[in-house]
Amino acid sequence: MKNEWPLWEIFIRGQHGMSHRHVGSLHAPDAEMAIKNARDVYTRRNEGVSIWVVEANHIAASSPSDKGPLYEPSESKVYRHPTFFDIPEEVGAM
Amino acid sequence: MTRDDAFFQFLLRMGDNTLILGHRVSEWCGHAPVLEEDIALANTALDLIGQTQMWLGLAAEVQGDGKSADDLAFLRDAWDFRNVLLCEVPNGDFGRTLMRQFLFDAWHSIQLGRLMKSSDERVAAIAEKASKEVAYHLERSADTVVGLGDGTEESHRRMQEALDYLWPYVGEMFQSDDVDAEMVKAGIAPDPASLREEYDVLVSRILGDATLTIPESRFAHKGGRTGAMHTEHLGHLLTQMQWLQRAYPGAKW
């Protein structure tokens, strides 16, 4: 493993005004090369206007075994969804 | 030599550089040391071949024999090619490939910068388009040369060997002849020799960062851009690159 480059998670902003989205991961020796590699791997077809890279081991993730306490309480609370409002057309994409 | 003859030769030199180097780089496709580099090299090769279409397309137009860029790429033999020898030398290891790429990219970026001011609008337009791709090629190859040169003991040794092997091929990019004189007179392209100073500054800085030593000798292999004498490697490259059109003339995708 010593010779393996670290893993980086790649986030691309598709267009101005949108948020960065996770598109995948790749290996690179440092952040600068990770951005270059992301450019070559993920933006060849005009997919993005901005790239974020994060070393994968800096991401803290929730544990699958916490599924019950984390998510189940909200399953039965349909009134928390903002689906009971009419959104004016002019607002556009939300 | 008429103005158009010289112009045609100049365009072949530009297009053959990108064609032959693009083919060489494409040989790494599926073989690079890591997936990310494999994709990056293939992208570079595709950029270069895309630029070839523009240069050789214009060359065919200037030649006026009703030929296409494809005819020029696939139906000429070794002695008709006008690329510098640097572009045709074999890839060697990954380090040598990236060193060759850096030594070429550095020249290419300076040359395209000058060509953007060409008196010929078509040349200026191609240079403008290509320069954005080449700026990225240079950034990438320079970073890799520094990373490997200033890396482990083994990577440093391999990069120094690559530089020692390739340095004698650098000088040819700056040699001027009658074709160049004609291009300078027409305001189409700069005198190659006039690019050397800027090149040396750029290359010395990067190779310094890479802790590599530039060989002292200024001896330069030549014969590629004039077509006087290519290395034995070009013929082998062409047999692969041109095989399909030679075996099945006129075959279409």
- DSSP H stretches of helix in B80-152: 85-88, 94-115, 121-149
Taking CA atoms, what residue in A is nearest to B144? A33
Partner residues linked to A51 by β-bridges: A12
3-state secondary structure of A10: strand
Q: Count the Cβ atoms, other than its own, within 10 Å of residue B2.
A: 8
Residues B64-106 have pLDDT tens digits of 999 999 999 999 999 999 999 999 999 999 999 999 999 999 9
pLDDT band at A2 (very low <50, low <70, confident <90, very high): low
What distance lies between CA A60 and its chain's CA centroid? 13
Partner residues linked to B47 by β-bridges: none
**Assigned token pair, B52:** 């070839």
CA distance B7 to B13: 10
**Assigned token pair, B179:** 């074709």
CA distance B220 to B126: 29
Quick check: B116 pLDDT over 50?
Answer: yes
What distance lies between CA A47 and its chain's CA centroid? 15
Q: Which residues of A touch B40 (CB under 8 A)?
A: 36-37, 40
Measure CB to CB from residue B36 to each of A28, A32, A44 and give the nearest one. Answer: A28
What is the average pLDDT value for chain B, to the nearest integer? Answer: 96
Q: Which residues of B touch A39 (CB under 8 A)?
A: 136
3-state secondary structure of B119: coil
Measure CB to CB from residue A41 to each of B39, B139, B140 and give the nearest one. Answer: B39
Quick check: B147 pLDDT over 90?
Answer: yes
Choice between B78 and A78, residue whose per-residue pLDDT is larger: B78
Residues A15-48 have pLDDT tens digits of 888 899 999 999 999 999 999 999 999 988 888 8
> What's phi and psi for B2, nearest 5 deg?
-80, 165
**Assigned token pair, A28:** 């690179």
Q: What is the mean pLDDT of residues B30-34?
A: 92
Look up residue B223 and give its DSSP letter. Answer: -
| ipTM of the complex as predicted | 0.73
